[in-house]
Amino acid sequence: MKLTAARAQQLVSAAAGARRHAHAPYSKFRVGAALLAASGKMYTGVNVENASYGLTICAERVAVGSAVAAGERQFVAIAIVAPGAAMPCGACRQVLAEFGDCAVICADAKDRRQLRLEMLSVLLPHIFRL
């Protein structure tokens, strides 16, 4: 499956919709993610904060977990909607890299037309492999 402009916009819209359900009572930094699997199915995730910050789960990893739980193992793209079009953290980059290279689309929460697009392999050029 190829990532088209229309599909990229669908991902951004889905991530923005999911973002409304983020649990971010401490930082107020709400993030939504939408992951496109090679099957064509889409999986969403939100950040889930915890009073013990180290236990917080990023939206990207929630989306990956949902996709993997459904049997997916190949991803085409992930869209992330957050303040400032924030890029995925290093841990999320590594988790995504476990399943190969994919497009990473980051959109600003206030103006979703402000997009940043990069391939995961550019964001994490030296992934850890066991």
Q: Are 88 and 80 in contact (CB under 8 A)?
A: yes
- 72 given a catalytic annotation: no
Give 102-122 pLDDT, tens digit per residue.
999 999 999 988 889 999 999
Q: Residue 72 corresponds to which tokens in the numbers above?
A: 């997916």
At 2 the pLDDT is 86
Question: H or E stretch including 118?
Answer: strand 115-119
User: Mean pLDDT throughout 35-39?
Assistant: 98
At 48 the pLDDT is 98
At 114 the pLDDT is 83
Give 46-58 pLDDT, tens digit per residue.
999 999 999 999 9
At 108 the pLDDT is 97
Catalytic residue among 60, 72, 98, 118: 60
Q: Are 115 and 85 in contact (CB under 8 A)?
A: yes
Give 50-93 pLDDT, tens digit per residue.
999 999 999 999 999 999 999 999 999 999 999 999 999 999 99
DSSP letters of 25-88? TTT----EEEEEETTS-EEEEE-B--SSGGG-B-HHHHHHHHHHHTT---EEEEEEEEGGGPPP
Q: Where do the domains of the chain lie, and which CATH numbers do they carry? A: 5-123 (3.40.140.10)
Tokens 């402000």 belong to residue: 114
The pLDDT confidence band at residue 128, using thresholds 50, 70 and 90, is very high
